[in-house]
Structure formats: structure tokens, C-alpha cells
Chain A
């Protein structure tokens, strides 16, 4: 018969609970590292389920590839994978509902509206996956951390970003004797010249994501900034921003029509496809769709580098796409393993997206990149990774910046100027809104 009481030890320095915690953590950590190093799913995830919530990609072929790849990964690793696609504008509401319920998908995509800093206390720490991927793929591009880093930890995995380059009609430019729109001044001259010939330009001055992105690209290229590097203080009130607003007013008056006040994210695509636009500043989906809808426009549309501002600076404000996972997920290991494999397969994803998805990893961004590296018209996109910026530039992607973006304050400042309000009055209004929003978040 054995002794039923524990034997007291005077020199025990570790409690049983403490020992189990440390040992358990060590085993889990080392198995994950081993698994990541071996690129092989651990036996623990076999028989588990992984539910993924993602958007409906602008390139439907990418969704087809994504679903197929996910199913194949599931089969290979013995994981039941279920992918749900919803419009990206519905993602914030869906995340809020899942958080409130404490249940839902294991992996969720954020597109442009990045909610990492809002939920990070309830998100899975992905630092190990982020570092492993960086190590194996030549590091991340400098902008990659901005949307996902909180207090030195990574709470999401950057997947890809969507560029909005210049899409200009070479035939119209040449007929009018215009130079390619390599600077914003050249773009303005082209707008003025081509509008007179019935081919105006257009950048949305409305409540849509394109307006949020493109007017920021203009202002940042003029040297303006949105927040300081800490992200705590707005820095909008500057002479560079005033200069950008004056430019925006001139560009609207000389090269656009009031249509831009009513535009949504697809309007400029239609504007280009209709054959009317002289140039637009939009994602390459606008160019791609003309291939079937208007082959003449497709043939004559060229993709240009982000125009330089007066000081030669170029910043392209892009929409990042990241994947995150809840802390309450029942399959954290499966989520990490899936995301690692997905990023590893990103080159296939780039091919499936026909060059729409831009990689965050340096090795993947090396020339020649898939699809765009072999297309003479799109090769210029390979030079964008070094000029990429996000909302809040040069600061991080904070909740206050997210609120500013949700309320379209930035494009509204340009809208007010375009409608005839003075630059100072418009900027004062915008700065006031920024300060109030930042102050509210500081108080919170």
C-alpha cells in the first residue's frame, strides 16, 4: 500500500502549479518553434477545425485560389477548414459581435480598417510567427509593423497590401504632347489640358476608401504628415498640408468635374473603363477590368509611379490586409500554422490575384515579382514597397487614426477646399476634429 500523503520538502523552490505552468509553456513553445522550423503541422492540430473569416476579394480568381489552397492545406494537415467570405465593410461589425459572444472564427481578416490596437488585449500574440516568417523571407518591409504592433508585440500577420498607382491614358497624353504624370505638377497640367479636350481626371472627394487613401498620398508626397511617430499627436497643421490643399483645389478646378463628389470606390474604375478619364489614381483592378470591358482603353492605359511632390517625395498610402486570431480561439496552434503556410505560399497568391496583392516580405518583393515583374506595363509596381505608407503616416495605425478614417475627416478637408472654403478655414475645421478625436482617445 502506498503512502497517500505528499511528502513535505523543505527545499522546494518551485510550486507544483508553477512547475506545470513553466513546463507546459516550454513544451508548447518548443513544439511550435520546432513545427515552424520543420514546416510541418504538429500532430496536435490533426482532427481540429479552423474557421476563417475573410473578405470578398476584388479579384474573384484570388478567392477561388484561396478557398482551394485552404482546403488543400486542411486535407494535408488533417484540419477541417471552413472559409467564410463577407464584404469587407461588414468585418468590423462581425468582429464586434464575435468578441461580445466570445466565440466565432479562428482567423479573421482586416482590410484597411485595421482593428488590432482596439482588440489587442483579446488577440493572439503572433510575434513568434511574425519573427519566424521575417527570418525565413529576408525580413519585412519597413511599413509592415505599423498596423499590427502594440507595445513591441505583434498581434496579427501582415498578408498583403493594395497599391493605388497612377493609371494614365498614354494615347491621350501623347496626342496632347504631355509628359507622363511622374510628378503631381505634371498630373495637374495633364488634368487641365485633357479636361479641355473632354477627358477630365478624377479623385473621389466623397466618403469612400479611395478618397481616404489617394488624398493622403497627395498630401504625404507634398511633405505633410498625419501624426507623430508615437501616434499620440496629430501633425496635420503644417505649411506642407496647406500647400497640398491649394494643389488639391487647383487640381479639382482645372482637371475634374463635380462628379467626384458623388463617387464611391468603383466610380473611378467605371470612369476609366468608359474611356473618358485622362488619368485616375486607383488600384490596378481598375486597369484589369478594362481588359474585358474596353480593350482599347486597356491597351492604352499605362501604370505610373506615385507622382512626386514638390520636394521630390513620393508616398503611396495603401490599404493593408492583415490576419488576426482571437485569444479565445480553440485552435491557436492551428491558426498560427495555417497563417505561416499561407504567407509561405504568398507567391502563388500574388499570381492568383493577377498582381493585385503586394507582399510585405522582402524576399517576395524582390524583382522580378510574379505577374507584375513580367508585364512591362506593371513592372513599375515593383518599386513601390519602399514608398508605402498607411493612415497615420508616419505614425502607427492607432484607434484614433482609425476613427478619423471612418469619419472621412481627411478627404472632407479637401472637399471643403474644393467647394470653395478657404484653405485655412478647412484645415482649422479638420485640425479641430483631429484634436477632439485624439483627445477623446487619450482620455479613454
Chain B
């Protein structure tokens, strides 16, 4: 039964129903009618592709490796079962794992020191005005842009025990003895030298990146501030320590984070130069994870080894990013 509407307009019930059905729409319209909300929504929309990208290309593989690390997955078995922390226990029982962990940390620290010193020096050099500056800036990034397999194989030749161009040059200069003598370095054969040789190639490849990052930072420091510091009597190192460094700190931190991740996950240099030898002297975690996870097929243990550094890196990452946020740059 329906009631008649004398005035011709909607009755009270249908008006209420209309109000109920249009409620969320009008509320959304109302929320979006604020310019600030629209800006916010637009901002989220712009961020969405990047967030999705990170989620798909970083988040999903990371979660998948977490899953592998707690399963008995191997390359030939499509189904795996949950085995808790068994893979981590198995890795920690290996003598080679601890050698690889120690080498990875040494690799990271020593490489970081050399890259900082060389990268900073190069960045300052590239800041100067000289003829052919653009060409030199282009040339210094060559190690970073060369395919890693080619550059590492070139280094392998330079480190060759018999035909090393480094050794023959040093020998001709009279700094070492001739081939076969005790002073003839076996770059990839002596344990400490082998690790240093691998670090050397990593530094050679990466320090141009450090220099470019620093150069971007240095050029963003207003010259007026540097001039003012100079007028106040600051020396070069004082200007660097008290003016430049605080101003480019966020860039330094981001560069540091990138470098840490790149160095810790660098499989190619060691794998191609020594495959972790001799006697595990250059064994590092990414190579060990590859040898066990892919070559030997134990995906679970490989993933567990690869993930070992995550608990160490997370607190460092958290502290660095929190420090960055506090500075409110």
C-alpha cells in the first residue's frame, strides 16, 4: 500500500531512504571537497606506483625468502614443509658459515673505509675547475658502468699468479723479485692478500658511485656559506667537518645505506675471482648462499644463510633512518 503525496514532492520515508543511500557518497564528496584532502588523495595516488613497485620487487621476494628459510624447500621439490629454524641451525653448525660471516663483515668495513676516502678525494677533485673536467667526470664512472663479468675477468688476469701485469710492473721497477721468488705476490693465493684483492676490485668498481653521490651533495652547498666560513678563518678540514658534512648528511646517509647493501650482496666479485677459495679464505655469505642454495639445490638453507645479515642490518638501518628524521631535513 502506498500513500499519496499531496504536494507532489517525495514523502518523508523515501526522502530518508534517499538520504541513507546517498550518505557515504555525499560524505566522500564532502571529504574530497576539502582542498587539503584532495591534495592528500592526489599525493597517495602519485605514491601508489612507487609503493606497489617496492612491494612487488622487494617485499614479495623478501617474504618469499623468509618462507624458504623456514621450509625444507629444495630446487627439485615443488612442495616443501615448515621446519622452523632448522635451516638456520644447520647453517650455524657449519664452520664455513662463520668464516663467511667474518669475511663478509671484514669485506664490508674495509671496503667502506677505502670507498669513503677515495670517493671523497675524487669528489673534491671533480669539484675543481680544470680543462677536460666533463670528460674526466664521464671517465670515472666507467668502472661502475662496465659489465661486472668483464671487469672482474680483467682483474683476474691482472691478479694471475704467473702473468700478472701488476707483478711484472712491480718487478721491473725493482720493488719485488722476479717470478718464482718469495717476494712475488700470489694475489689470489695468499689468504689475506686474496681477500684484499677481492675488496680492491669491489672498491675500484664502487668508489666512483660514492664520488658521484658526494659530488651531488657538495654542489648543493651554497658557496656563500662556504665563503662565510672561509672569512671566519675556517680551514679546509674545519669547513668540511663543520659546514659541508652536516649540510650533506642526508645524502651521505643514503649513499652509505646503498653502499652497505650493494657491498653485502655483492656475489660476483668473489665468485668470479676465487669462488671463495683458497681454503675458504675469501668465502662470503652471498657466495656460500649461492653454492648451497642454487648449485647444491638446498633452497631453504641458502635462503637462511642469505638472510643472516638481516637481523644485523635492521637495527643499523633503523638507527640511521631515525637519526635522519630527527635532523628534520
Contact = CB atoms under 8 A, between A and B. Distances in A.
Contact of B277 (A402, A408, A432): A408
Contacts of A274: 162
Interface string A334-367: 0000000000000000000000000000000000
Interface residues of B, number: 41
Contacts of A440: 90, 298, 301
A163 interface: no
B72 A262 contact: no
B96 A444 contact: no
Interface in B151-180: 156, 159-163, 180
A310 interface: no
A415 B190 CA distance: 12
A296 B109 CA distance: 49
A260 interface: yes
Interface in B70-105: 72, 74-78, 86, 90, 93-96
Interface in A406-433: 406-408, 412, 415-416, 419, 429, 432-433
Contacts of B291: 406-407
Interface string A183-198: 0000000000000001
Interface residues of A, number: 47
A51 interface: no
A118 interface: yes
A208 B277 contact: yes
Interface in A93-123: 93, 95-96, 99, 113, 115, 118-122
Contact of A407 (B77, B190, B194, B292): B292
A336 B97 CA distance: 42
A208 B275 CA distance: 8
Given A99-B75, A262-B187, A432-B95, A118 B278 contact: no
Interface in B202-261: none
B274 interface: yes
Given A198-B180, A206-B277, A207-B275, A262 B297 contact: no
Contact of A259 (B186, B276, B277): B186
A259 B94 CA distance: 28
B143 interface: no
A258 B189 contact: yes
A158 B249 CA distance: 61
B75 A95 contact: yes
A433 B95 contact: yes
A270 interface: yes
A262 B161 contact: yes
A397 interface: no
Contact of B186 (A261, A271, A406, A419): A261
Given A92-B294, A113-B295, A262-B187, A270 B162 contact: yes
A206 B94 contact: no
Interface in A63-113: 92-93, 95-96, 99, 113
B163 A119 contact: no
A228 interface: no
Contacts of B72: 444
Contacts of B180: 198, 257
Report, nearest first, the 6 A-B pairs whose CB atoms are least far apart: A207-B277, A262-B189, A261-B189, A403-B296, A262-B188, A207-B275
Interface of B: 72, 74-78, 86, 90, 93-96, 156, 159-163, 180, 186-190, 194, 274-280, 288, 291-292, 294-298, 301
7 contacts: A92-B295, A95-B75, A262-B187, A270-B163, A399-B74, A399-B296, A444-B298
